[in-house]
A and B are shown apart, each in its own frame.
Chain A
Amino acid sequence: MTAATPQAQVPVAQALPAAHGPGFGRLLLSEWTKIRSVRSTLLTLIIFVVVSLGLTGLITWLTVRAISAGHADRRSAGLLADPVSFILGTGLGLGQLAICVLGALVITTEYSSGTIRASVLAVPRRLPMLAAKGLVFSAIVFVLGEAVAFGSFFIGQSVVQGHSVTVGPLTRTITVSLSQPGVTRAVIGSGLYLTVLGLFALAFGVIIRHTAGAITTVIGLVLVIFPLLGLLPYSWGAHIHAYAPTVAGQLITADHQQSGQLLTPWQGFGVFCAWTALLLIIGGWMLHRRDA
């Protein structure tokens, strides 16, 4: 590529119209432009949708087939015992990783590319920029997350609906519907969980600032560390596990409570929100304090 000759006479003297409108709205617009204008956003979101919907359909279908063929195991038992949690837990369980990646990327790429300097020059107070970024990003994840959660539910529903299963002396027909108790909350809750998860990852992105480090940390915590806390012994171990951010947060994606569950779905979601808010405050403070 080559550049054309710059203008010899510089038209710089004319006055720009004075700014109008609320300041924060402008920052939202600015962040919306930023997030839309890089490929990684679209790519990650496409992966999120395809993986979530695809795997929900595939795994549910394979499991139903296995049950029909008489291969009853732990997995198929899970589908029978709690079909809604099974449907919402398969595809979204993996698709959530794309949200973790994007949450970290929206801020770490600013650091790796140097865009953060331009951004901070435009918004020297910095925190409004982070707030606008968080709002725009979580709005995108919320809309898409709810759509994918409902999409997953309907795909799973169409696969399992009406299948008759014989377990022992009883024959049961699987039915799932949004009108069953807790089901609509679990589906909407899945979108809410993803939204907060995105902000959880964003907070780590602000704190760590490096793409690979932030993504590894978030995915390591969500997939490995938090679930492993369940192996801790005694009641204090159970409490630590129950209050771990995503463990607590995922309660809202199940349609009914397990026995011995320490938190209700909404309490769990509250715990996850509190963790995320704490991390965002730490991240915001660091963004404010550190050299850009």
Chain B
Amino acid sequence: MIEVADLTKRYGDKIAVDHLSFSVQPGVVTGFLGPNGAGKSTTMRLILGLDRPHEGTATIDGKRYAELREPLRIVGALLEAKSMHNGRSAYKHLLYLAQSQGIPRTRVDEVLALVGLTDVARKRTGGYSLGMGQRVGIAAAMLGDPQVLLLDEPVNGLDPEGVLWIRNLMKQLASEGRTILVSSHLMNEMAVTADRLIVIGRGKLIADSPTSEFIAGSSQKSVLVRSPELDRLAKAIEAAGGKPVAVSANGEPGALRVNGLEAARIGEIAAAERVVLHELTPQLATLEAAFLEMTAGSTEFGGHGGPADEAGGLPAVESPAAGVAGHQAGMGSGKGIAS
């Protein structure tokens, strides 16, 4: 179990992690979600003892990372930043790590086979692709067969097949009762991978809940409305307490996305105003929508970045594999937020 209590880290004037507290339980994949620069990597570095916190503590099974004997046998970590020498082979990189923990050589061959790098393991890592480098990092994390894994953006640089592989690996490891914290800014990836979500923005905790609850709890259950008299309808909806936003659905203008009102209520308003409706469709909340809604507050604080609706323009990268799996898992409407 990973426990973070009141963790704070500043870089000069900038506060990277701001009194953050959460715990990560074994047996499930916990997603660590936040926009770029939210403090995910810094938090992981603090847990791993690479950085020194200004306040608070981070412990793994009750101990600070620095207190662990043979830490690689207890905690496996994949860092976002590159952490191997271009001129050293993957085999030698893993070998020196194994030797430092008294892990036998045969385990190096095992983890190389696990990540599919056996054939190129003796070559210098400088010639590796981004995805191959990532696999060396995953092999290093698995070296000590650890009970706790921290993976910072593990799908970075992986092809769709690799993405699927790492997702299944994480699920399998969690099902064996291990503690898994995986960070990502890819919301759809988290929707299909993580059982639980810890969401941070500007170094602060925004949400800590099961993934399904996180999506369901979102108020972003919007309704798509299409009408030839949008302006009049929008005013009436606003008067009734709804929040209409003009959107161009499927490339056509002339639609509103309404938050805060049920579809039935909008229908009643339209009838009262004698406005013709061409479409009235409740939109399913997606993790992305929920995330943007949740983090909107934290971006607003900074004075730049607008309300949640405008934040739809943020780089909401969706890998093809994640999208496909999103349908399989029954999450996401497939439409997401039109923007």
Contact = CB atoms under 8 A, between A and B. Distances in A.
Contact of A37 (B92, B115, B172): B92
Interface in B48-81: 48-52, 65-66, 68-73, 77, 79, 81
Contacts of A39: 87
A203 to B, nearest CB: 21
B117 A30 contact: no
Interface stretch (A80-88, A116-124, A161-169, A278-286): A116-124
B132 A123 contact: no
A30 B71 contact: no
B254 interface: no
A38 B87 contact: yes
Nearest to A31: B96
B145 A30 contact: no
A30 B66 contact: no
B240 interface: no
A7 B116 contact: yes
B103 interface: yes
B70 A5 contact: no
B100 A123 contact: yes
Interface string A111-147: 0011111111111110001000000000000000000
A139 B130 CA distance: 36
B82 A122 contact: no
Interface stretch (B161-169, B296-304, B325-333): B161-169
Contact of B71 (A26, A110, A114, A124): A124
Interface residues of B, number: 65
A124 to B, nearest CB: 4
A289 B146 CA distance: 27
B107 A117 contact: no
Contacts of B145: 12, 14-16
Nearest to B103: A16
A54 to B, nearest CB: 26
Nearest to A126: B66
Contacts of B87: 38-40
A6 to B, nearest CB: 4
Interface string A189-226: 00000000000000000000000000000000000000
A16 B93 contact: no
Interface in B153-182: 161-162, 165, 168-169, 172-173, 176
Contact of B115 (A6, A17, A291): A6
A4 B118 contact: yes
B45 interface: yes
B131 interface: yes
Interface in A1-41: 1-8, 10-17, 19-21, 23, 26-27, 29-31, 33-34, 37-40
Contacts of B110: 11
Contacts of A31: 96
A40 B87 CA distance: 9
Contacts of B101: 19, 26, 122
Contact of B68 (A23, A27, A30, A124): A124
Interface in A136-193: none
Interface string B80-120: 01111111110011011101111110010010011111111
Contacts of A26: 99-102
Contact of B142 (A12, A23, A121): A12
| Central interface residue in B50, B119, B127, by most chain A CB within 10 Å | B50
A291 B85 contact: no
A84 B123 CA distance: 46
B77 A121 contact: yes
A44 interface: no
A291 to B, nearest CB: 4
B45 A291 contact: yes
A109 interface: yes
Contacts of A114: 81-84
A58 interface: no
Contacts of A116: 83
B131 A113 contact: no
B169 A10 contact: yes
A274 interface: no
A116 B50 CA distance: 10
A37 B86 CA distance: 11
A12 B173 contact: yes
A117 B79 contact: yes
B102 A4 contact: no
A23 to B, nearest CB: 8
- 5 closest cross-chain pairs (CB), A and B: A19-B102, A37-B92, A6-B116, A30-B100, A117-B83
Interface of A: 1-8, 10-17, 19-21, 23, 26-27, 29-31, 33-34, 37-40, 109-110, 113-125, 129, 289, 291-292
21 contacts: A3-B116, A3-B120, A3-B131, A4-B116, A8-B165, A10-B172, A12-B142, A17-B104, A20-B102, A21-B102, A29-B99, A31-B96, A38-B88, A114-B81, A118-B84, A118-B93, A119-B100, A120-B49, A121-B71, A122-B72, A122-B97
